[in-house]
Amino acid sequence: MKVKEPDLTEQIREIFGTTDAKELRQIAEDAACYRKKGNSANRSPVGRKNSFTDPQLANILALQKQGVKITEIAKKYHVSRQTIYSQIKRVHNFSEDPDVKMRMYFMNRDYLCTMIDIDFLHEKIYIKNYTDQIPLRAFGVVDNPSWNDFEYFLEDRCFPRTRDHAKEILRDMRIPFYDPLLIIEKTDGYMEGDHQWILTVKKER
C-alpha cells in the first residue's frame, strides 16, 4: 500500500501557523532581522582590536613577561583572552617600514616611557616619548637621537666594558664578546638603582 505523502500546504501551516503569502513574507523578514541583531550583539565593537594604545600594548607584554596569566590580563582590560592573544601578535607587526626590524620599549616598571624603532641597515632610529618626566626618557631632552646616541643608550644599560671579570660574565651569559645589544637581550637592560628596563620585540617575517 502506497503511503500518502504529507500535503506541502499542510506542512507549511503546521510549521508557520499560516499559509498566507503576506504573513509568510513577514515571518521571513522578522527572522532575518533577528539574525542580524544577534550577530551584531556577538561582535566586538568596530575597531576594538586596534584600539589598544602603544603604552597599553607595552603593558600587556610586560605583564606577560612577568608571568601574569593571559586570563588576568584580559580581566584587567575587560576583553577576551583571544583579544589579548591577537594584540600580542599585532605587536610583532609594528611598522610598515620594511627596514625597521626591531622595536624597543623603554619601560619604568610596567609603564612605557620611550618607544624606539630601529633600522639597523641604515643605522637610524625613530622614537616616541610617552612621559613628560625627562629623566625617565631613553634620550632625555633629545627628541631626534642619532645612531651614536642609540649606541650610548644601549651601553649605558649594560655593565661596563672595563668591569672586573667581564669575560667570565660574558661566558656565563653565553655571549662571545661584549655587545650591548646581545647583553640587553639577555638582561632586559636592568640596572641596579632604578626600575627601568628594555622590552625588545622583533618583527615577524
Q: What angle do CA 53, 188, 152 make, to 5 degrees?
A: 95
Per run of 10 residues, the mean pLDDT along the chain (length 205 residues) is: 57 62 67 53 43 94 95 95 93 89 96 97 97 97 97 96 91 94 95 93 85
Helices (DSSP H) in the chain: which residue ranges? 8-16, 21-42, 54-65, 70-77, 81-91, 147-156, 166-172, 180-187
Q: For 118-156, how does the pLDDT look when each residue is reduced to its tens digit (9 = 90+)? A: 999 999 999 999 999 999 999 999 999 999 999 999 999
pLDDT, tens digit (0-9, with 9 covering 90-100), for 165-180: 999 999 999 999 999 9
- The CA-atom distances, in angstroms, between 104 and each of 43, 83, 119, 166, 176 are 33, 22, 12, 25, 23
